[in-house]
Structure 1
């Protein structure tokens, strides 16, 4: 996985810089996500991984499947990837592109998992506190998981804050067992 990310990084950076200069980060992000989802389909993935396949033909197939969801700039980007036999890297390129975009926009996607549905006021307070702590604009997505028993579990990238009752009970059990 790390090797694929290393190969994908220069393409993602080039796409990001192009989209940033054109002030089209949101459009590119959406199109890259679309092409990454399509390229992850088992049938399309098999076509893209076929060593006997012509690169330009593979890019055309991918662009045809995506249809009107792709602009001409992204189609040209697919052609460059095809010429370099890198179409299989599209999921990694898309993920890295989104990382570059989030860093540029100083934003972070946060998942908040709670035992019960959070009230809007509580969610807004949590967003404000996280924004202050992380020094970023927070895009929050909330879900519920009754197995937490109470409290919340917050995931922001590789940062995990476990304030759940289940997490506290697990820590207590570990302390008692040691």
Structure 2
């Protein structure tokens, strides 16, 4: 995974800078997200991994997967990726682009798993507190996981904060077992 990120980073930076210059960050983010879904499809992944196809043919088949005609800039970007044998990096490029966008927008996406459903008021209080603490605009996604017993698990990127009863019981059991 780290190697894919390393390979994808220059492409993601370049396309982000181009999108920023064109005032088209939102459009590029959506287009790359959709392209990432297409690239992650198993049949498309098999095509991209096929050594019997030329890179140009792989790019053509990839572009044909889209229902609507692609914007010229995205089509050109995909052709550049194909020429450099990097079409398989589209999902990683999309993820990095989204991170660059979040940094540019001073925002962060958080996922919070709780044992019980949070009310709209509780969610707003959580958003306000986290926005103040992180000094960023917070986008919150919630999920219910009753196995947590109580508390919450917060995830953003590769950071996980486990403040659940289940997590504390697991720590305690590990400490007692040592």
Relative to the length of structure 1, the TM-score reads: 0.93
* Corresponding residue for residue 41 of structure 1: 41
Report deviation, 1:40. 1.4
1:100-147 Cα deviation digits (max 9, x unpaired): 111111111100100111011111111111112222111100000010
* Corresponding residue for residue 105 of structure 2: 105
Matches of 1:83 and 1:175, distance apart in 2:
54
Matches of 1:158 and 1:46, distance apart in 2:
28
* Corresponding residue for residue 26 of structure 1: 26
Question: Aligned pair in 2 of structure 1 residues 96, 69: CA closer, same or farther (>3 Å)?
Answer: farther
Matches of 1:110 and 1:11, distance apart in 2:
26
Report deviation, 1:3. 1.6
* Corresponding residue for residue 162 of structure 1: 162
Matches of 1:150 and 1:4, distance apart in 2:
37
What is the DSSP-based 3-state SS (H/G/I as helix, E as strand, rest coil) of the residue aligned with 2:10? Answer: helix
Q: How many positions carry a matched residue from both structures?
A: 178
1:88-108 Cα deviation digits (max 9, x unpaired): 111111111111111111111
Residues 34 and 69, structure 1, Cα contact 8 Å, conserved in 2: no
1:115-154 map, 5 Å: 115-154=115-154
Report deviation, 1:172. 2.4
Matches of 1:169 and 1:18, distance apart in 2:
49
1:8-44 Cα deviation digits (max 9, x unpaired): 1111111111111111111111111111111111211
CA RMSD of aligned residues (A): 1.4
* Corresponding residue for residue 88 of structure 2: 88
Please say which of residues 45-54 and 168-177 is displaced more in the overlay.
168-177
Report deviation, 1:69. 6.7
Residues 31 and 69, structure 1, Cα contact 8 Å, conserved in 2: no
Matches of 2:132 and 2:70, distance apart in 1:
37
What is the DSSP-based 3-state SS (H/G/I as helix, E as strand, rest coil) of the residue aligned with 1:30? Answer: helix
Gaps of at least 5 residues in structure 1 are none
What is the DSSP-based 3-state SS (H/G/I as helix, E as strand, rest coil) of the residue aligned with 2:112? Answer: strand
